[in-house]
Amino acid sequence: MRTEFIVSDEVFYITTAIYYVNDVPHIGNASEAIAADVVARYERARGRKVIFGTGTDENAIKVAEVAASSGISPQQYVDSMVPVWSDTWRAMHIQCDDWVRTTEPRHRRVVEAAFSKMLENGDIYKDLYKGWYCVSDETFFRESEVVDGLCPNPECRKAVRWVEEENYFFRLSAYQDRLLEYIEANPGFLAPEFRKNEVVSFIKAGLRDACITRKAYGWGIPVPGDPDQVIYVWFDALLNYLTIAGYLSDERKFAETWPADVQLVGKDIFVRFHSTLWPAMLMSLGVELPRLIHGHGFWTVEGGKMGKSLGNAIAPVKVSEDLAAMSGADFDVAVDAIRYFLLREVSFGLDGDFSTSGLIGRFNSDLANDLGNLLNRTLPLLHRHRDGVVPTPSPDDHDSRAVSVMIPATAAEVARRLDQLQFSDALAAIWGLVGRANKYMEEQAPWRLANEESSAKLDTVLYTVLETVRSIAIMIRPFMPTVSEVIWKQLGIEKPLADQTWADASTWGGLKPGTKTGAPEPIFPRIDTKRKPIEPAPTPAPKEEKKVEQISFDEFKRLDLRIGKIVTADRVPGADKLLQLTVDMGTETRPVVAGIAQWYAAEDLVGREIVVVANLAPAVIRGVESRGMLLAADENGTAILIQPDKEVPPGSAVR
C-alpha cells in the first residue's frame, strides 16, 4: 500500500486513451474517463501533484474523407468535433489537466522527433508493403485474414482496400523477447491478470514488424524528410502520452512526470497496441515504460451489445438528463449518480451491463435510501431540537465509539482499493460505513430522545451521525464531486471541502460543536418505479444534447435552418429505425440520415418538404454519411415531421 502522504516532486500521471474525433462519446468511454478522474481527484486529496491527461486522435484517413465529402477542410472538421468530446467530459465532472490534440504542433514535433530517432537507430526501415487495409479500423490485415474482401473485425465487416506501396516499418519483431522478459520481471505492469495472459500469448505467437506509414493523402503528420508519406495514425496517437508529459520540450516536467503511473485503455486496444507496440516504441526510444497499463471491459446495454453501428450507444449527458427527469434530482446530482453507477455496478476491468432497472435500483437504494436518508433523517431533528446547531457529544459514549472506530478503518480500506483500481470495492467499503451509521440511528432512535433526561444522549447521537457524514463526504468526493459539496454545504462547515485532505476523512472530530448547519434538503428524490421509466432511447443522430438553458439571439442565429425537399428515401440496410434521404437544398442535394423509419414509410416521404439543420457537423451513421438533420416534433417518443405551411423553394431559410 502507498503511504498516506507523499512528499515528492514527482507527479502522479494518469491517462485515458485519446478519442477518435469521428466518434461521439458513449458510456463506455465515459466510464474510463470517470475512473481516471476518480483516481486523479483521490491522488490530489492525498496531496500529490497530478496530471490527468486525455485528448483527441485527429489524424486518421477517415477524417480527411468525411471532411472532403462535406466540403470543409479536415482542420475545420476536427475543430468542430473536439467540443463534442470536451463539453461532454465537462458536463460529466471529468476534470482533466491536459487535453492533447494530435493536430497540435507540440505533438507533431514529438512524433517527428520519435520517428527520426528510431530511423537513426535502425528500428525503422523502408520496404514494399502489400496487404489489406481497413480504413474504418485504421488497421492492416494479412492476406490470410481477409475473406471476400471484407474486414475480419466482426464488428466492422466493411470492404478492405488492397494497398501496395513503399512504406516505413517499425522493427517490432526485434522486441519480442525483450517485451516478454519485461512483462515477466514486472508483474504489476499489465492488468488485469487475465488480459495480461492474452498479451503474453499474442507476443509468443510471433510479432511482425509494423507498417507505420501510408502514402500521403493530404492529412496527417508527414514523414520527416519524405513528404510523400504520412505517419500511421496509431504510431502517431500512442505518442500523445509523451507529448503531455513534456517529452523533448520540457526536460524538468518530463523528469517529474514520466513514467506514467496509470494508463487506462479499453480491451480492444489493450493487447495489440498498448501492451505490445507502445512499450516496444518506448524501448526503442530508450524511455522507461509506464508503471501500469490497465485494460478494462466493455458495456452492454440492457443485456445486448452496444456500439455506434448498432445505434444504441448511450450518450452520457442524455442518460444523466433522463435520470434527472425521472427522479427530479438536479442535473449535476444525476451526473454524480451516473458516475457512481458506472463504477459501482461492475468490477473495473470486466464487462458490465447498463440497464435502466439497474440504474434505478442503485439510485433508490444506495443513494436515496442509504446515503440520502442518513442526512435527511438527522438534519431535520437537529433543526427541530437544537436550532440547527451542532451539539457537543458526551466523551466516551460506547455506542458512538462503535461507529467512530470504523471511520479510519474505512478510509484505509478505500485507499487500498483505489490504489488497485478496485472502484466497486472502494464504494462498497464506504457504503459499509453508511450502513453502520444508519443502523446506529435505528438503534438509538433519536426521534424518541428529545425530552430533558435524554438530552445528552440526543446530542451524542446527532453529533455522531453528522460527523460520520462529514467523513463520508470527503471519501465520496472523488466519485461524486457535486453531491459531496451539497452535503458539505448542508453540514455548514466553514473550511471548504476542496481544502480537506484524505487524512481529514479518518480523523474524528472535524465537525466542530457550535457549527450552524444549512437547511436540510433531500439530495436524491426517490424514483417512483410505478411510473413508466424513461427508456434510454437509442440516439439515431450522433448529437450531444445539452441542458435546457436560455440562449441569446446571436447564438440562435448560428443555426442555419433551411427548407429541403426530399428527393429519395431508402431504408438503411440492417437498421430498422433509420432512413437514408437525399434532400434538395436549392443549391445542392445532400445525404441526410434520419431515425424516423418507425413512423414514416420511405415511399411516403419523397416530394415532401422538411426543415433541415443545414450547418450541423457531418457524421457517418451506420456507415452512411449524413449532412444535416431534419426537425420533427416529439410526441411521447413519436416523431412528427415539421413541414412548411405551403410549398416554398428548397433552400429557403427558416427564421
**Residues in touch with Zn ion (CB under 5 A):** 134, 136-137, 151, 153, 156
In whole angstroms, give the CA distance from residue 390 to residue 379.
10
- Shortest approach of Zn ion to residue 218 CB, angstroms? 22
DSSP reduced 3-state for 470: helix
**Minimum distance from residue 59 beta carbon to Zn ion (Å):** 18
Q: Which three cell numbers stand for residue 653?
A: 431559410
Note whether 135 and 62 are within 8 A (CB): yes
Q: Please report how close the Cβ of residue 156 comes to Zn ion at its closest, in angstroms.
A: 3
**Cell numbers describing residue 449:** 430522545
- Minimum Å gap between C-beta 318 and Zn ion is 27
Identity of the residue, 136 or 424, whose beta carbon is nearer to Zn ion in the bound complex = 136
Q: Which residues contact 210 (CB under 8 A, 6 or more apart)?
A: 169, 170, 172, 232, 235, 277
Q: Which is nearer to Zn ion, 200 or 310 (CB)?
A: 310
Helix then strand then coil, in percent of the chain rounded to 5, is 45, 20, 35
Place of cell 465529402: 69
Cis omega (within 30 of 0) for bond into 481: no
Question: In whole angstroms, what is the distance from residue 543 CA to residue 555 CA?
Answer: 17
Q: Which is nearer to Zn ion, 136 or 275 (CB)?
A: 136
User: CA dist 97 to 12, 13, 32, 54, Å?
Assistant: 12, 10, 16, 8
> What residues form DSSP beta bridges with 27?
none
Nearer to Zn ion, 20 or 247 (CB): 20
Nearest approach in angstroms of CB 326 to Zn ion is 37
Q: Are 105 and 653 in contact (CB under 8 A)?
A: no
Rg (CA), the chain: 28
CB of 136 to Zn ion, least distance (A): 4
Taking the least distance from each CB to Zn ion, the nearer of 83 and 149 is: 149
Q: Which is nearer to Zn ion, 156 or 654 (CB)?
A: 156
Helix H, strand E, coil C: the string for 253-297 is: HHHHHCCCCEEEEEHHHHHHHHHHHHHHHHHHHCCCCCCCEEEEC
Q: How far is the CB of 604 from Zn ion (least distance, A)?
A: 35
Largest CA distance in the chain: 92
In whole angstroms, give the CA distance from residue 114 to residue 463: 59
The DSSP call for residue 53 is E
Identity of the residue, 60 or 466, whose beta carbon is nearer to Zn ion in the bound complex: 60
CB of 131 to Zn ion, least distance (A): 13
Q: State in angstroms the smallest separation of the CB of 169 from Zn ion.
A: 21
Query: Which of 104, 137 has the CB closer to Zn ion?
Result: 137
For Zn ion, the closer CB: 155 or 604: 155
